[in-house]
Structure 1
Amino acid sequence: MKLKNSVHAAMLTTALIAGTAAPAIAASGGSAVSAADRVTATVQKATGTADVAPDSTRGTVMATDRGLVTVTTPASADGRVTVAASDGSAVTMTLPAAVGAAGTTSAAGTTVYPDAAAHTDLATQATVGGGARALVTLKDAKAPTTQRFNLGLPEGASLVADGNGGYDIVTSAGGAGLVARGHIDAPWAKDAKGNSVPTRYSLEGNTLVQTIETGADTAFPVVADPHYTWGIISGTVYFNKKETKVLALGGTVVGWLPHPAAVVGGRSLAGIAGYAVATDQCIKFKVNPALAPLSPAAAVAGSGTYKGSAGDGYCR
């Protein structure tokens, strides 16, 4: 994968927040350490910088094996993170900001928004795989442990729980099923000692809600991270209950699938679909789109089952 950066210089804007105190004085050597430097150090300690793309506040274009993806992170905390595919479609995400704190971008590409909410710093990173991180730093035990990120989805797109704590962002596969064109990774959170802090997602409409379970032993600050991609087809295709039942009975729902009697991973597609029907689930396939025109059987790399949820409802 090659990285094409359309940005020629890092954004050096100073974070200007009404009422912000003067920069702290470092304990060692007496040198001034700005709020932006403090947040950057905390975030980059948690994430590392190996997969962080250069400054994306003016757009970073990445050439992936599925086409060009452009990531733009907001110049202020009240803006939206945008990940756009080569066809012009995009998925956006708001930050849980209370004020429009101006961003400062580090040499490594992390844009930080100090004190953008009560007891909370925010940050964004474009990632070289064609995605974006929205990072929340809980500065102390008074910081809210529930954070909300509103998602802007293209027309016809929806979210399907992936079974691992994250979500696939899906659109119509054409004819039948839904194909994943983006993904929200399972959440993570780390405290100041590098220990994992329990965290989980839920959905309120198109709002991604992250809950972070801090406790008496949590070392602050805590960094938590929603990370998502768009425009990179993962190959996961979801079918609903009606389509699953057709497959279980030996029928065909879409031309690129092999015959239901075909064996995938030691089991026939019809058998897997039959199990899904019997357990009130739906079937999903992992597909290599490049192989589909050559051999439908080779195109199906794996299969499994999934259940609907309040957030997606496709398995119905």
Structure 2
Amino acid sequence: MKIKNSVRAALLTTALIAGTAVPAFAAGGPAVSSAAQAVAAVQKATGTADVAGDSTQGTVMATDRGSVTVTTPASAEGRISVAAADDSAVTMGLPAAVDAAGTTSAAGTTVYPDAAAHTDLATQATTVGGGRALVTLKDAAAPTTQRFDLGLPEGASLVADGNGGYDIVTSAGGAGLVARGHIDAPWAKDANGKSVPTRYSLEGNTLIQTIETGPDTAFPVVADPHYTWGIISGTVYFNKSETKVIALGGTVVSWLPHPAAEVGGRSLAGIAGYAVATDQCIKFKVNPGLVPLSPALAVGGSGVYGGSAGDGYCR
């Protein structure tokens, strides 16, 4: 991937971490000290190797699949925006209670100290085309449930990826849904680097992250929601009626390989038949570099989704 200007990204993280050296800031004073401590906590958890720098003014990432413009907020009540070349964008709000002003470190971490009770917030742009919004829960009194409001383009929705994260999907052109963005599975670790259980849930378009701290948790802890938009990830999802058509050897879209074609030693029809029998739906991987989808799609693997996961499209 080529980077135009600086690569920026929007990313969301919930963090609890301690014991990091405080980075140098240009000015002194209590506010700067608070910001420096917030930066130190975040950068101990994430490192700085993949941090691209400040993106509060919006920067363009150029890839072989189009450009993505990422903007992180100048204050805590703003929204992270990741916009594709067609001007569609996915935005995310931070879980702020106070509109704290952002301060950016030399490495590119922007922090919003005391933006919520016992909580600092932060954002980072990353060199891989993503971004982090970190929530530093400073002690055991900080809330362990964090809510991130998502703004989705018209026609976009979320589908659980089966690994704890979500694909952000739109119409694949006639049938099915194609992933144009992704929310990675969450992670969390305490001040000693020990993993802390964490998970996502959804309420409408609100992403909720829960961190399961306990008596043995060393505060602070870091937990991480991360999303991208505008780069085709290559996963295509079909619903139950479309899956049944494929299982019977039919075609739902012109670019879909023939149902008798084998994928990983199995035919699409056979995989779809298993999905129908188990009350699930079919999904498969395509060449992420081909946009728009075409009959020349390279199928890279397929499987099923839905069932007990309760995916909204598998119905």
Q: Identify whether the pair has TM-score above 0.5, normalized to the shorter chain.
A: yes
What's the CA shift for 1:308?
5.9
Once the two structures are superposed, residues 72-118 of structure 1 have per-residue CA deviations (whole angstroms, 9 ceiling, x without a partner) of 11000000011111110000000000000000011111100111000
SS in structure 1 of the partner of residue 35 of structure 2? helix
Q: Identify the residue that residue 250 of structure 1 maps to in structure 2.
A: 249
Could you tell me the percent identity over the aligned residues?
86
State how 1:102-141 maps to structure 2 within 5 Å.
102-141=101-140
Q: Identify the residue that residue 176 of structure 2 maps to in structure 1.
A: 177
**Whole-Å Cα distance in 1 between the matches of residues 137 and 63 of structure 2?**
33
SS in structure 2 of the partner of residue 300 of structure 1? coil
What TM-score comes out, normalization by structure 2 length?
Answer: 0.89
Query: How much is the aligned-residue C-alpha RMSD, in angstroms?
Result: 1.8
**Whole-Å Cα distance in 2 between the matches of residues 290 and 221 of structure 1?**
40
**With CA pairs under 8 Å and 6+ residues apart, which has the higher RCO, 1 or 2?**
2
Aligned residues: 292
Structure 1 residues 54 and 5: alpha-carbon distance in aligned structure 2, compared to 1, 3 A threshold: farther
What's the CA shift for 1:221?
1.0
Q: Identify the residue that residue 3 of structure 1 maps to in structure 2.
A: 3
> What letter matches 2:129 in structure 1?
G
State how 1:17-56 maps to structure 2 within 5 Å.
34-56=33-55
> What letter matches 1:223 in structure 2?
V
CA contact (8 A) 1:96 1:147 kept: yes
Once the two structures are superposed, residues 231-287 of structure 1 have per-residue CA deviations (whole angstroms, 9 ceiling, x without a partner) of 010010000000000000000111111111111101011000000000000000100
CA contact (8 A) 1:130 1:230 kept: no
Q: Identify the residue that residue 190 of structure 2 maps to in structure 1.
A: 191
CA contact (8 A) 2:254 2:295 kept: no
CA contact (8 A) 1:288 1:300 kept: yes
Structure 1 residues 216 and 106: alpha-carbon distance in aligned structure 2, compared to 1, 3 A threshold: same
Runs of 5+ in structure 1 lacking a partner?
8-25
> What letter matches 1:2 in structure 2?
K
**Whole-Å Cα distance in 2 between the matches of residues 161 and 261 of structure 1?**
27
State how 1:211-230 maps to structure 2 within 5 Å.
211-230=210-229
**Whole-Å Cα distance in 1 between the matches of residues 308 and 141 of structure 2?**
32
**Whole-Å Cα distance in 2 between the matches of residues 204 and 167 of structure 1?**
13
Runs of 5+ in structure 2 lacking a partner?
8-21, 23-27
What's the CA shift for 1:6?
6.0
**Whole-Å Cα distance in 2 between the matches of residues 311 and 79 of structure 1?**
32
What TM-score comes out, normalization by structure 1 length?
Answer: 0.88
* Higher CA-based Rg: 1
**Whole-Å Cα distance in 1 between the matches of residues 182 and 72 of structure 2?**
18
Q: Identify the residue that residue 162 of structure 2 maps to in structure 1.
A: 163
Matched, 1:235 2:234: yes
Moved more, 139-148 or 305-314: 305-314
Q: Identify the residue that residue 70 of structure 2 maps to in structure 1.
A: 71
**Whole-Å Cα distance in 2 between the matches of residues 308 and 85 of structure 1?**
32
